[in-house]
Amino acid sequence: MATYDDRQWLLEHIQNSYVTSDDTGLCELVVQVEPGAAPVVEFPVLANTDSPPHHEHDDPPPHSVDIASDMDFMGHRQRSYTAQMLDKMRKEKKNASRVRRVMWKHSLAPVNESDLNDMFSRKAVISSRTPQDSPVSQQRPVSLLTRLVQQYPDGVNNPFIEYSKFDGTIHTSVQARKISIYLLVGDDPAPSYPMVVSIINCHQARVIDLIGLICWLYTKENRQPPLRGGVEHYALHIAEEDGQVDWDFQALRGRDMFEKFGFTVLALVEKKNVRGPPLDVVVTLNVAGGTFSKLTVENLDITLKDILNRTIAKRKDMVKIKDAGLNYHLERQNEPGLALDPELTLSDVNCTEFAVVRDNSKRINALIDTNNMSTMEATLYRSYKVIWLLKLGKCEACLGISGEKMELHPLQQKVVGPFLPLRPPGPVIYNMELVVDCRRKSEKKGKMEVQISCQGENRFKDYVFECEVNMGQEILDKCKHIFDLRSSSARNEFWREKKPFKRHNSLSMRRRPRTENHVNEI
């Protein structure tokens, strides 16, 4: 607490406090400082003050600064609560004077219809925008959205709406892939200007989803002729830049992911008779040497002559032989030596597997009796379907053996087993001189494991197969006949290294060093 003995200063401080803290503004009107105010010593109450004497020529005593409203800082001074309540009561009184209260009483006397019409007559509403007699006033403005709703009450009937999520034309921030699609639909399809389709989420979209997106855009643009059926009635084929479809390749499978295909031009082709059996027929033609070709024909009315010509056109060696003056004919695969008439159709012969045989040649029956196999029969090419046993799995393979070479081709890339190798096995081809051994490894439950050893670049390598007992015995007999007929230096080296080591006499403490050529050597 501070103690002040200057009464003049206290009076000025009290005056200033009243003026600044009064919300009503009354103190500001009552307590005012006049310019010619008398000094404090003239008041009898302050006669005995300890304040310094006031001289006439001295500066006027200090006083509080006059309060001026600062509109820039506060805007206006806040009103007191009393003033606000008085203003509110005044407004309520003013509004109450405009209200009229009427007490409702039920009238026992009925009111006539005419009196009701007079009291509650219907009045015509006249619009201020247009004259009453103008025909424009009778029409309501209709928006474009209202017209579309009236035109399509149930929405646009597009059965492929579920595939619109892959449309990339409405997405600007998502990377899309553009593909040119030729539309071969209708009774007389012909390639025209392609449709550019933008697809997103290629890592999730399948081929069937792309077909659905094309059908959705086709229906949305009201193209003609209209589509028939769903997405299963159409297929995507590889096409050239001018729209020509490459019929040598099959259509893209619908369940495959579209991301793995890098084609920029495709053709949408309408399938025929989807629910019935497919019209395309696959014909297998076996050629001498163990090779074969597969042709896809459109129907069963094609002649055997056309099939043979198409097969010869695909093989350059057969074209050269035919140009030299030699011809070929077809035989059923299971009927060797019986030539077929080239004018017969595929439906007449009722067969889809043939053998291409050169004229003046004889095809030997592939079903060789293993008990009576001769040396000449053993040198002929023969293929076997075996199970290739790998280190970390197994796969189906085609084993071909002849007097010249040994071939091993995997039939499928996927390897079944508890572990998958880093890469699928590739085809293996060895000259028969490098095939050094063929023996039975084990036999159980009607299956035989056959091991064939071959000489590689720096070592001997073993290939183990699993097959039926009869097939395995035939492979052993075939290789035995070939080994007896043809000797090789690699085979001699293999058996020389496989001989058991003999302990030398006491005079020679040296032993024969073990070789590291064979991977299975102990």
Listed in sequence order, the residues at least 6 apart from 171 whose beta carbon sits closer than 8 Å to its beta carbon are: 200
CB 461 within 8 A of CB 454: yes
Per-residue CA distances from 172 to 55, 200, 391 (Å): 89, 11, 51
Rounded CA-CA distance 400/427 in Å is: 11
Residue 498 pLDDT more than 80? no
Residue with the bigger pLDDT between 372 and 446: it is 446
What average pLDDT does the structure give for the chain? 77
Strands (E), 72-216: 177-184, 195-199
* pLDDT in the model for residue 511: 43
Per-residue pLDDT tens digits for 115-173:
888 888 887 776 655 555 555 456 778 888 888 778 776 666 788 988 988 998 877 77
Residue with the bigger pLDDT between 457 and 127: it is 457
Q: Taking the CA atoms of 6, 8, 10 and 12 in sequence, report the sign of the dihedral they define.
A: negative
CB 267 within 8 A of CB 237: yes
Task: Give the strand pairing for 281-286 and 292-297.
Answer: antiparallel
* pLDDT in the model for residue 65: 53
Q: Which of 416, 420, 406, 355 is nearest to 378 (CA)?
A: 406
CB 450 within 8 A of CB 470: no
Residue with the bigger pLDDT between 506 and 76: it is 76
Per-residue pLDDT tens digits for 383-403:
888 888 888 788 888 888 888
Residue with the bigger pLDDT between 355 and 36: it is 355
Listed in sequence order, the residues at least 6 apart from 261 whose beta carbon sits closer than 8 Å to its beta carbon are: 207, 252
Poorest-pLDDT segment among 217-226, 288-297, 426-435: 288-297
Q: Where in the chain is the domain with CATH 2.30.29.30?
A: 375-505
Rounded CA-CA distance 518/460 in Å is: 5
pLDDT classification of 196: cutoffs 50, 70, 90 = very high
Residue 157 burial class via C-beta count within 10 angstroms: exposed 0-12, middle 13-18, buried 19 and up: exposed
Residue 91 pLDDT more than 90? yes
Residue labelled with tokens 């050529």:
517
Q: Where in the chain is the domain with CATH 3.10.20.90?
A: 161-274, 281-369
Q: Residues 301-317: what's their mean pLDDT?
A: 85
Residue 69 pLDDT more than 70? no
Rounded CA-CA distance 305/312 in Å is: 11
Per-residue pLDDT tens digits for 7-58:
888 888 888 887 777 777 676 666 555 544 444 444 455 445 455 555 544 5
Per-residue pLDDT tens digits for 464-489:
989 998 888 889 988 888 888 887 88
- Identity of the highest mean pLDDT range in 34-48, 153-167, 224-238, 310-324: 224-238
Identify the CATH assignment for 281-369 out of 3.50.50.60, 3.40.50.10860, 3.10.20.90, 3.40.640.10: 3.10.20.90
Share of the chain above pLDDT 70, in %: 74
Provide φ and ψ at 6, rounded to 5°. Answer: -90, 100
Domain 161-274, second-level architecture: Roll (3.10)
CB 393 within 8 A of CB 419: yes
Q: Which of 144, 160, 156, 142 is nearest to 210 (CA)?
A: 160
CB 293 within 8 A of CB 285: yes
* pLDDT in the model for residue 367: 44
Rounded CA-CA distance 125/206 in Å is: 63
Per-residue pLDDT tens digits for 417-444:
555 544 567 888 898 888 989 989 888 8
3-state secondary structure of 53: coil
Share of the chain above pLDDT 90, in %: 12
Strands (E), 160-288: 177-184, 195-199, 234-238, 265-270, 281-286
Residue labelled with tokens 């007490």:
103
Rounded CA-CA distance 170/315 in Å is: 50
Residue 370 pLDDT more than 50? no
Query: For the whole model, what pTM was predicted?
Result: 0.31
* pLDDT in the model for residue 358: 82
Rounded CA-CA distance 368/379 in Å is: 12
CB 330 within 8 A of CB 352: no
Q: Residues 230-256: what's their mean pLDDT?
A: 89
Residue with the bigger pLDDT between 108 and 241: it is 241
Rounded CA-CA distance 287/317 in Å is: 11
Strands (E), 333-484: 353-358, 382-389, 394-401, 405-410, 428-431, 435-444, 447-455, 460-468
Listed in sequence order, the residues at least 6 apart from 514 whose beta carbon sits closer than 8 Å to its beta carbon are: 501, 521
Residue labelled with tokens 């309408």:
270
* Preceding omega of 278 cis (within 30 degrees of 0): no
Domain covering 375-505 assigned CATH 3.40.50.1100 in the classification: no
* pLDDT in the model for residue 90: 94
Rounded CA-CA distance 508/502 in Å is: 12
